[in-house]
Structure 1
Amino acid sequence: MSKVVYKLETQQECYEQASQWIARLDRGLNVQEVQTLKEWLAGSGKNRQVLFKMAEIWDKMDALSRLSELFPNTHKPTAGASRPYRAVAASALVVLAFFCAWAATMVAERFIEQQQVLAAVVDRIYETAIGEHSSVNLPDGSQLVLNTNSQVKVSYTDQHRLLVLERGEIHVQVAHDKSRPLSVIVGDKVVQAVGTAFNIEINSDQKIELVVTDGKVLVAVHETPEDNTIELLPEISPNTSVIVSEGEQLVLGGEEETIEKVNPKEIQVKLSWRDGNLVFRGEPLESAVAEISRYTQVEFVILDEKLKKVRIAGLFKAGDVKGLLLTLRENFNISYQRVGDSKVLLSAE
């Protein structure tokens, strides 16, 4: 975790200290404070210049005459100056208001910046159980959505944005931050984006499916350190990576890694899980059951080989086994038999 140190510039420190001294003068100085003020004025010509020169600028109030009484020879007006010294001292009250407001603003800004940095430091693991999906608002404004049985490690600092997908599926809406590209490590690949949206899934045979829904991402090989730690990744160069753009899909881990165009309707189907739905548009029953099984502990067994090729279409609620079986029986003439609470046998009627 990086440590950020905030330090004011010398001139800003001088302004703040001057305003503090004017506040003390207003309520009256004790003997020790008088001595400390003298030391402060003697410490730097800039201190004296700020305290008195700025007082000359704001010469509208009749107060703080103690300044001239305590230090009658400290500040001498220039030859062209026409203001009496008492008026100069009196004007310090306005300086107090001006610089107190300025100092308060500076402190508030630094506090906000510090809170933003602290809020941007995240090192945690998010996961969902089978049948669950969850949304996470990341500190930079990005949104992470986890599908069923997914786990992702998030490491955010003021220097980098890193996600490691251990299992399952995520959709990431990346907030734009050119100085900190968001990187997702999955297997031996790293997907990097600045401001875009994409979906990544590790499927049952450990292939990685990437679909870009907005903008573009870069995909490159990632070498995992021996200690398996997350380390800061350099920005990936387009010359050493594959570019995947909006409306394109890349399947990693197979014999061929090719980029394919995906029409908007297919993308909607792929992302229907974010609304808790599963949409099938003519997939074989075997493929549909494999997808449905991701959202439930129930095991489906298809008894008839021909039945595996029956095309299934419709919208199903993820994890709703009862509704699924009813739809299969009424719309596709597929009967079922429950074996305990954890297994269902499917057969043709």
Structure 2
Amino acid sequence: MGEGDAAIAMDAQDEMLQREAQEWLLRLTSGNVTVADAEALKRWCARSKTHAQAFAEASLLWENLGTAARRLPDPNVLGHGRRSHAATMGRRAFLGGSMAASVAMAGYLAMRPPLDLWPSVEELAADYRTRTGEQRRISVANGVVVDLNTGSSLNVRREGNEERLELVSGEAAIATTQQLPVRLTIEAAGGQIHATEAQFNLRCNGSRAIVTCHRGSVGVDYSGRSLSLREGEQISYANGTLDVATSVDPAVVMAWREGQLVFRQTPLSQVVEEVNRYRSGRIVLVNEELGRRLVEARVRLDRIDDLIGLVREAYGAQVTSLPGGIVVLS
């Protein structure tokens, strides 16, 4: 076999490993993953260094896309006019060039990425975006401050005298330092949140949004209905339904701003889902009974993987670690 034939054979083998790694990712997202699947994946990754590398590269592709997105031009001042032509063209070039270059995974970018391991096209095209585990403070005109949480995307624009934000995905704590001359409007998941003097938390996941009022009052408009939230109240909406407001502890909801997560009698399945927002890779819970166990804990964001040890020690869970930050709990 000549050098050319050997190179072709090597490329074909690499392509096959990439396809298999992507198939493993899809199996993990199927909702039917089992302990046997986890063990089989571990054996597949252990077959060779190239197997493990292929899986790690597939599961961490989102980091490469996030790095490219951070190189895009970023407006220096929020809320004043349209984005520059250079910024718009930069995003177009990125979406049409850098993403298209990721041929092996391009087919998946039209739908929700497996395991949410990388952001969608809409999220990447936002004015401001944070990576997994990153938080960012943004100052908007008229004394509005936005703390953008992990893996979040935000658009900003001004319509007349009104500041308008759009939380495309993720979570943001929004505060006004003074009473605004005109109200602030934030769009999320098909609804609108209004405030003139308030501090509140907004979380958006697909078609669902959760609004928590920490200070002042917040108005919520959704699906033809309107209501006002007072301090310590929370409401969610999705699929055309605006739920009834409930009482919560805003300090727990917004603990992420202090570098920690607080769980009070929370099912482990929900705890894992929350922790996954802050770490690279993914924790996959395959034991339904274990997922129903209630958790009372504080987890520091700079030591987020402490949760894995806590679950192993407190509940006797089996932990299977895989390349790319994938951890299977059973």
Short-chain TM bin:
0.5 to 0.7
- TM-score by length of structure 1 reads 0.55
Choose from 253, 264, 268 the match for 1:281: 264
List 4+ stretches of structure 1 deviating above 4 A. Answer: none
- 1:187-233 deviation line (CA, Å, top 9, x unaligned): 32111111111111013x5311011111112222489xxxxxxxxxx
- 1:296-325 deviation line (CA, Å, top 9, x unaligned): 222222232211111122111236353222
Matched, 1:316 2:299: yes
Contact 1:138 / 1:144 at 8 angstroms: preserved in 2? yes
Q: Distance in 2 between matches of 1:168 and 1:322?
A: 21
Matches within 5 A, 1:158-237: 159-203=161-205, 206-221=207-222
Contact 2:229 / 2:245 at 8 angstroms: preserved in 1? no
SS of the equivalent of 1:214 reads strand
Q: Distance in 1 between matches of 2:144 and 2:167?
A: 16
CA RMSD in angstroms, aligned pairs only: 2.5
SS of the equivalent of 1:293 reads helix
SS of the equivalent of 2:305 reads helix
Q: For residues 243 and 130 of structure 1, do their structure 2 counterparts lie closer, same or farther at Cα, with a shift above 3 Å needed?
A: same
- TM-score by length of structure 2 reads 0.58
Count residues in correspondence.
Answer: 211
Amino acid across the alignment from 1:212: C
- 1:21-67 deviation line (CA, Å, top 9, x unaligned): xxxxxxxxxxxxxxxxxxxxxxxxxxxxxxxxxxxxxxxxxxxxxxx
Matched, 1:340 2:323: yes
Choose from 258, 264, 268 the match for 2:251: 268
Q: Distance in 1 between matches of 2:223 and 2:186?
A: 10
SS of the equivalent of 1:325 reads helix
Q: Distance in 1 between matches of 2:143 and 2:253?
A: 24
Choose from 273, 286, 291 the match for 1:290: 273
- 1:65-118 deviation line (CA, Å, top 9, x unaligned): xxxxxxxxxxxxxxxxxxxxxxxxxxxxxxxxxxxxxxxxxxxxxxxxxxxxx9
Please identify the structure whose Cα radius of gyration is greater.
1
Q: For residues 263 and 122 of structure 1, do their structure 2 counterparts lie closer, same or farther at Cα, with a shift above 3 Å needed?
A: same
SS of the equivalent of 2:291 reads helix
Matched, 1:138 2:140: yes
Matches within 5 A, 1:37-186: 121=80, 125-156=127-158, 159-186=161-188
How many Å apart are 1:159 and its aligned residue? 1.5
Amino acid across the alignment from 1:282: Q
How many Å apart are 1:256 and its aligned residue? 4.0
Q: Higher relative contact order at CA 8 Å, sep ≥6: structure 1 or structure 2?
A: 2
SS of the equivalent of 2:298 reads strand
Q: Distance in 1 between matches of 2:223 and 2:181?
A: 20
How many Å apart are 1:335 and its aligned residue? 3.2
How many Å apart are 1:157 and its aligned residue? 7.3
Q: Distance in 1 between matches of 2:187 and 2:254?
A: 21
Contact 2:178 / 2:197 at 8 angstroms: preserved in 1? yes
How many Å apart are 1:131 and its aligned residue? 1.1
Contact 1:279 / 1:315 at 8 angstroms: preserved in 2? yes
- 1:229-261 deviation line (CA, Å, top 9, x unaligned): xxxxxxxxxxx7322222111111156423323
SS of the equivalent of 1:191 reads strand
Q: Distance in 2 between matches of 1:178 and 1:306?
A: 49
What is aligned with 1:73?
Answer: none
Aligned sequence identity (%): 24
Contact 1:121 / 1:157 at 8 angstroms: preserved in 2? no
Contact 2:189 / 2:208 at 8 angstroms: preserved in 1? no
Choose from 223, 230, 250 the match for 1:245: 230
Contact 1:123 / 1:153 at 8 angstroms: preserved in 2? no
